[in-house]
Amino acid sequence: MDDLGILRTLVLALPAAPLAAACVCAALGRVGAGSVRRFAVGFAVVHLAAICGSVLLAGNALQNRATEPGGFTPFAVPGASGFATAGTTYELFPVTPAASVQFYLGLDGFNLPLLVLAAVMTLFAILVTGKTITDRPGSFFGWLFVLEAFCLAAFLSFDVLLFYAFFELTLIPSFFLIGRWGVGGGRRDAARKFFLYTLFGSLFTLVGIVGTVLENPTPIGASGMPSYEPPVGNEVRKAGPLTFSIPQLMKNVPAWEGIIPVRVMQAEAVASAARVHVATALRQPNAAAKREAAAELASAEKALAAARKDLDDRHDLRLWLFLALAAGFLVKIPIVPFHTWLPAAYGESPLGITLYLAGALAKLGTFGMLRVVIPLAPDASVLYGLPLIGTLAAVGIVYAAFCAYAQSDLKLLAAYSSVSHLGFLALGLFALNTEGFGGALLHMINHAASTGMLFALLAFLYDRYRTTDSNSFGGLIAKYPRYAFFFMVAALAGVGLPGLCNFPSEMLMMAGLFDARNTRWVGYGLAATAAAGIFLSSWYAFTAVRKILFGPVIEPAQPAGDTPPVDTTRSETRTFVLFAALCLALGLFPQPILDTVKPEAETLAKIVTKARERVTPGLTDPIGVGKGATNR
């Protein structure tokens, strides 16, 4: 078996392995808590190693693959031969006799880093949870592995419905993890709220997917072959088979955006020719010719009206489909004002799960924007992305920062700071250029590292005092010097200190926002807001640091029966060191990730550039930004 063959097997095995591990956990649950935990840690390490191995193996193939212009080019697709991007032979079911939903998994530049992320976060979630789960630990770790499996599968999916299915499936394990092992009294409500809010949003996404698929069949040219260029002269484009494949849809959507306006022009040409015929016929005595010409004109006018209506319909629909597609991801990320489920869910979950929700699951939302919304609605993304979602994101950055400042519970502070950072991420995405996409994807990883570390640090406090209320802590640096050091690292990484993880990605996204092709005040205004967000984040982060680390020692009463608290234990130190090393490594060496992401980011940037040309007539590239961006 060659590399590609091995990778194909791995693409199937990587998401399947956690499912098998979940079964083992459920079975081991009867043996004892200790053995489950040892198995879970062991499996997570092995699985992470396997994923890192496959990513290294894939790195070579990624650079060498033959990319097709106009769409993502997944490779190592199980069920496909060679580098074929036409999909796979694994069919799930035919929606119409000609169009099937496929079990279409594969690797590309966007999902490789995120696979590692999901596995790393699983390991950390298990390490942070440690021995705190005493109620049915077998089921707990089992559900966590199920959640990981669905996350991985969603990242790997290239069929739009398959992606949606896995995206939605993550709700089930999360519901149980929050509702059953939550730490607060409101855990059941929090789980229900999380489930219902996300479902409500994602059902709109489902309708959006249905609409997008039905409105964008593969265009067929005169030769009977797919043809994506706008027709020339009186060529026609017919609607061919429907498709659910994201790479194929990425070609179809721009094609129809180009074809339908040309159809209006063609109809106009026919109508003006008919008018000439009428004019010439009027000058002749032949009554039959006059009638014929008049009939020709009438039918041409009718066709013209129909073509114009088609165009208007498509333009109207564009906005609605964009909003519908984005709805589920807006809730998942979450973007203010769709974030109201988040404080409850993050606050009530056990900290390991909060870490996973913020570190891996929230990334499904931003990844959905990158994988589904922007590729399948490029024109609408250009028109409405920054003005609508960008504005909401910018408002969210500031609003959530103030909310974070106001929280006395450190867990909620971290939750709101996460909302603030993810708003930044969404803003970077809708800058719609290579810097923005690359920076956003890098920020997905960086945010997971910094926020994950923060939640892991809070678990330290929670394990010792059963509370994370900042009012009951003070001067911890005197009591826990090692802990204070790690806390400072996390805070500095969160605010984007150069050399630590958030800095490069925030800089890249900011650079993306200063794109001359975005409407000036929108781009600059939003960039300025984002910069203010960074300032605000240091404000609330250092306020919290001052409060709990410095000043006179204050600590809450210890729960009865606990051993006296000590500074970080060996296993805690190990976790924190790993996190800190991750933050440092990502801050110093972001380039490998950016290189991995680059081909896909460029593909997407090209699609968006074309969309920009379509929706802003007369736009030329005044200072060569488009070229510059793609050459980076």
Partner 1 sequence: MTNPQLLEPVRTAAAEAYKLVIPEIALVGVACVLFVWAAVSPRKLLSLVLAIIGVGLAAALTLWYADGSTYVDGHRYYSPFDPTGVAAVVRWIALIGAGIFCLVAYGEVTRETAGEYYGCLLVLTAGASLVGRANDLVTLYLSLEMISIPTYVLLYLPVKTRAGQEAAMKYFLLSVLSSAVLLFGFSYLYGLTGSTNLRAVVDVLADAHLSAGTVSPLALVAVVCVVVGIGFKVTAFPFHFYAPDVYQGGPTGVVAVLATVPKVAGFVALARVLGLLVPGGGLPFDAVNTTVPLMLWLLAAASMIFGNVLAILQADLKRMLAYSGVAHSGYILMGLAAAGAGSPGGVAAVIFYLAAYGFMTVGAFAVLAATSTASRPVETVDDLAGLAQDRPWAAGMLAACLVSMIGLPLTAGFVGKFQLFFAAWDAPIGTPMGNLFRALAVIAAVNAAVGAVYYLRAAGAMYLRSPLTPFGAGRSSPALWAAGICVAGTVALGVYPKPLVDAIHAAMTTAVAK
The nearest distance, CB 362 to partner 1, in angstroms, is 20
Q: How far apart are CA 76 and CA 7, in angstroms?
A: 6
**Complex with partner 1: residue 197 or 455, whichever CB lies closer:** 197
The nearest distance, CB 138 to partner 1, in angstroms, is 12
3-state secondary structure at position 632: coil
The nearest distance, CB 425 to partner 1, in angstroms, is 26
Question: Are 362 and 332 a contacting pair, CB within 8 Å?
Answer: yes
Q: How far apart are CA 105 and CA 150, in angstroms?
A: 13
3-state secondary structure at position 107: strand
The nearest distance, CB 217 to partner 1, in angstroms, is 11
Helix or strand (DSSP H, E) at 175 = helix 171-181
Binding site for partner 1 (CB under 8 A): 91-97, 161, 164-166, 168-169, 171-172, 175-176, 179-180, 187-188, 191-192, 195-196, 199-200, 203-204, 206-207, 210-211, 213-214, 313, 324
**Complex with partner 1: residue 133 or 513, whichever CB lies closer:** 133
The nearest distance, CB 342 to partner 1, in angstroms, is 18
**Complex with partner 1: residue 26 or 389, whichever CB lies closer:** 26
**Complex with partner 1: residue 214 or 282, whichever CB lies closer:** 214
3-state secondary structure at position 238: strand
Residue at 239: amino acid letter: A
Q: How far apart are CA 385 and CA 405, in angstroms?
A: 29
Residue 142 sits at the vertex; the CA angle it makes with 163 and 369, to the nearest 5 degrees, is: 25
In the chain, how many H helices and how many E strands? Answer: 24, 4
**Complex with partner 1: residue 354 or 420, whichever CB lies closer:** 354
The nearest distance, CB 164 to partner 1, in angstroms, is 8
User: Which of 117, 137, 114, 121 lies closest to 26 in space, CA to CA?
Assistant: 137
Tokens representing 212?
A: 């997008």
**Complex with partner 1: residue 41 or 165, whichever CB lies closer:** 165
**Complex with partner 1: residue 109 or 217, whichever CB lies closer:** 217
The nearest distance, CB 377 to partner 1, in angstroms, is 16
**Complex with partner 1: residue 199 or 298, whichever CB lies closer:** 199
Q: How far apart are CA 459 and CA 448, in angstroms?
A: 16
Question: Are 500 and 446 a contacting pair, CB within 8 Å?
Answer: no
Antiparallel, parallel or unpaired: β 238-239 and 219-220: antiparallel
What is the Cα 239 distance to its own chain's centre? 30
**Complex with partner 1: residue 84 or 95, whichever CB lies closer:** 95
What is the Cα 103 distance to its own chain's centre? 20
The nearest distance, CB 95 to partner 1, in angstroms, is 6
3-state secondary structure 209-232: HHHHHHHCCCEECCCCCECCCCCC
The nearest distance, CB 197 to partner 1, in angstroms, is 9
User: Which of 155, 632, 247 lies closest to 436 in space, CA to CA?
Assistant: 632
